[in-house]
Amino acid sequence: MTAPTIVIAQRKGGAGKTTLAAHLGVTWARMGHVVSMIDTDPQGSLAQWYRTREAQLGREATGLSFSAVTGWRAAGDISRRARDCDLVLVDTPANAEADARAAIRAASLVLVPVQPSPVDVWATLPTLEIARKERVPALLCLNRVPARACLTAAMRNQLAEYEVGLASTSIGNRVALAAAFAEGWGIAESAERSLAAEEIAALAAELLELLPSVAPRVAVA
């Protein structure tokens, strides 16, 4: 059976794609899922996070499988890894439509993080258009939401007009997420009882509900 593939995509840089990918991957792994992560961004931020993680824990103890591959090779890597795991999670580059399209074409679901500002909301449209043309369902998620974002409600209303799903879970702009990422951790490891971890766990559960049944293959203590 081929594993579902979640592609995290957003044309605008700075939306928090890579940080979100890292925390979701660790959260699913701790739930008992076999997770394969793929970095298709030439900038390699997720690859750097994984190298830091590997240095902390050792190659056999990261709890994740990982590869970094760009361009036309991404689709083949996604297909191969989907045969050996429960979930494939793909981070894509900003402002690289061809590369993002190749990954989205292989996706079961496209997760589109968007910050609650008019510019970010407008910049989301090209990514949604790619998903629509490739006939892949998309889910918007408000990310890096400031504690007192007066625009958040208005941005939710505008995103609702895009006629795609909007996650009920929003991810706050929390220092703990960035700090954990910098050290190669997931928030579920570094601050398990924090509000940041609760938000990531809620989004992880929400995403699983949108995918074909994903049963854990391993037991987690």
Q: H helices within 12-124, ranges in order?
A: 17-30, 45-57, 73-81, 97-105, 118-123
Domain definitions of the chain by residue range: 5-206
Q: How far apart (Å, rounded) are the C-alpha atoms in residues 18 and 105?
A: 19
CATH C-level class of 5-206: alpha beta
Q: Would you call 111 helix, strand, or coil by DSSP?
A: strand
pLDDT band at 213 (very low <50, low <70, confident <90, very high): low
Work out the angle at residue 17's Cα, subtended by the Cα atoms of residues 8 and 77, and round it to the nearest 5 degrees. 45
Q: How far apart are CA 93 and CA 18, in angstroms?
A: 9
Per-residue pLDDT reduced to its tens digit, 150-186: 667 778 888 887 878 899 999 999 999 999 999 999 9
- The alpha carbon torsion through 158, 161, 166, 170 (nearest 10 deg) reads 10
**Residue 187 tokens, joined:** 């928030």
Higher pLDDT, 99 or 18: 18
Cross-strand pairs, 185:
none
- Asked whether the beta carbons of 116 and 142 are under 8 A apart, the reply is yes
Beta bridge partners of 87: 35
Phi, psi (rounded to 5 degrees) for 7: -105, 125
- Chain segment 39-95, per-residue pLDDT in tens: 999 999 999 999 999 999 998 999 999 999 987 788 899 999 999 999 999 999 987
